[in-house]
């Protein structure tokens, strides 16, 4: 029954921590959004073309070998 003495204190601390971490999380999410946007801005058309070309090549290899050769990195 002694735990009931600490229940109000626990609720108060929980509420404060929740508020602090939510604010921190919102700041981190805003920062993360900015970082993702900046990262997408650095992608060039050549990078996309090379990615598609490499993916197409790997799919051709899988089709030709009937998926017998699969490289794992």
Please tell me the pTM assigned to this model: 0.48
Residues 6+ apart with CB under 8 A from 69: 61, 62
**DSSP states along 7-71:** HHHHHHHHHHHHHHHHHHHHHHHHHHHHHHHHHHHT--HHHHHHHHHHHHHHHHHHHHTTT----
pLDDT of residue 1: 46
Each residue of 9-50: pLDDT tens digit? Answer: 677 677 777 766 777 777 788 888 888 888 888 888 998 898
């Amino acid at each position: 029954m002694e735990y009931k003495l600490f229940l109000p204190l626990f609720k108060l601390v929980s509420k404060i921590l929740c508020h602090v971490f939510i604010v921190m999380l919102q700041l981190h999410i805003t920062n993360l959004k900015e970082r993702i946007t900046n990262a997408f801005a650095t992608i060039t058309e050549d990078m996309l073309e090379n990615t598609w070309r490499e993916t197409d090549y790997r799919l051709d290899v899988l089709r030709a070998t009937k998926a017998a050769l699969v490289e794992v990195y």
